Structure 1
Amino acid sequence: MNERDLDSVAALEASLQAFPWSRGNFADSLTAGHSVWVCRLGGDLIGFSVVMSVIDEAHLLNIGVCQRYQGLGYGARLLRHAMECARLGGANKLFLEVRPSNERAVDLYHHFGFRQIGLRKGYYPAAIGREDGLVFDKELA
């Protein structure tokens, strides 16, 4: 991902989430030096991932794939790439949070061997109130 991608990434995020990251959030991740990637198909941006690494741990901050291409393996490719980049960067473990209502993502994380290690009460904004966040981790070494 680079600065030229920010408008497209923010638009994709807005199409996927009721409470999306802003363009500024993605720009901040670029500036901070996070591992930020896009997935393209025929030149079209169809997915992205953002991973923050700190010493020997990494945190998957955001990942998304265009709805039209979900279920076709692109999310798995992005996740696999994010894990490999984190591992090569020295991380032994990757953490993430996910909404319980995002069953497709929960299934993907389980498929890749992530395990639930916690619950963050009221972590995400929701249409009415807040939604919990499931905390997952996976050993990378």
Structure 2
Amino acid sequence: MTPSLPDLIFQVTGVESAPLLAALHEEAFAGGEVWDADSFTSLLGLPGTEALVVLEGNEPAGFILTRTVMDETEVLTLAVRPSFRRLGLGKSLVEQILPKGKIFLEVSISNNAAKKLYDRCGFIKAGHRRRYYRDGSDALVLVSTPSE
């Protein structure tokens, strides 16, 4: 069970949040594949793309970036600041988007924490992408299971 965080606020943001998203992404993925503000600006300019930022109190703690086309939503990235990890924020962000319908995403085969998160949220393996990431690592393709 995760601790209760009564001060969580979820905000849908647009292209104006690109610098914030880039800073959060850099902190969350330090030493890894980090996206800059220009990348977020480009993505948020695409139809159906939105960022959902979670604030704990007034402090940005993380976000999930999704793109919805017709009846499918793809998680483009999910980032939680290291100081806010293991509090259930990633799960809370994923749960916020589940009502969108069928959700799919790619996750690095070596990202055990993310794989556990998506498993807890009911995602199942739908495929495998070889050498998907810039570092040459593989990705699992996961898809949400229908809620009952």
Q: Judge conservation of contact 2:104–2:141 (CA < 8 Å) in 1.
A: yes
1:31-63, Cα deviation, whole Å (9 max, x unpaired)? 214131101112111111111111111111111
Name the structure 2 match of 1:22: 36
Count of residue correspondences:
132
Q: Secondary structure at the match of 2:110?
A: coil
Moved over 4 A (4+): none
Looking at structure 2, the residues matched to 3 and 32 of structure 1 have their Cα atoms a distance apart, in angstroms, of: 10
Alignment CA distance shift 1:140-1:61 (3 Å): farther
Structure ranking higher in helix proportion = 1
Offset at 1:140? Answer: 4.1
Is contact 1:94-1:138 (8 Å) kept?
Answer: yes
Q: Is residue 61–residue 84 contact of structure 2 (8 Å, CA) maintained in 1? A: yes
Shift of 1:26: 1.3
Amino acid at match of 2:78: I
- Give the letter aligned to residue 59 of structure 2: D
Q: What's the secondary structure of 1:37's corresponding residue?
A: strand
State the 1:139 CA deviation.
Answer: 3.3
Matches within 5 A, 1:1-141: 1-17=13-29, 18-33=32-47, 34-84=49-99, 86-87=100-101, 93-126=102-135, 130-140=136-146
Q: Which amino acid in the other structure matches residue 10 of structure 1?
A: A
Q: Is the contact made by 1:124 and 1:132 (CA closer than 8 Å) also made in structure 2?
A: yes
Task: Pick which of 73-82 and 31-40 moved more.
Answer: 31-40
Q: Which amino acid aligns with 1:107?
A: K
Query: Percentage identity across aligned positions?
Result: 29
**TM-score normalized by the length of structure 1:** 0.86
Q: Tell me, in whole angstroms, the C-alpha distance in 2 between the residues paired with 1:27 and 1:41.
A: 24
Unpaired stretches in structure 2, ≥5 consecutive residues: 1-12
Q: How big is the shift at 1:101? A: 1.4
Q: Judging changes above 3 Å, is the alpha-carbon distance between structure 1 residues 23 and 140 closer, same or farther for their aligned structure 2 residues?
A: farther
Where structure 1 has 5 or more consecutive residues not aligned to the other structure, the ranges are: 88-92
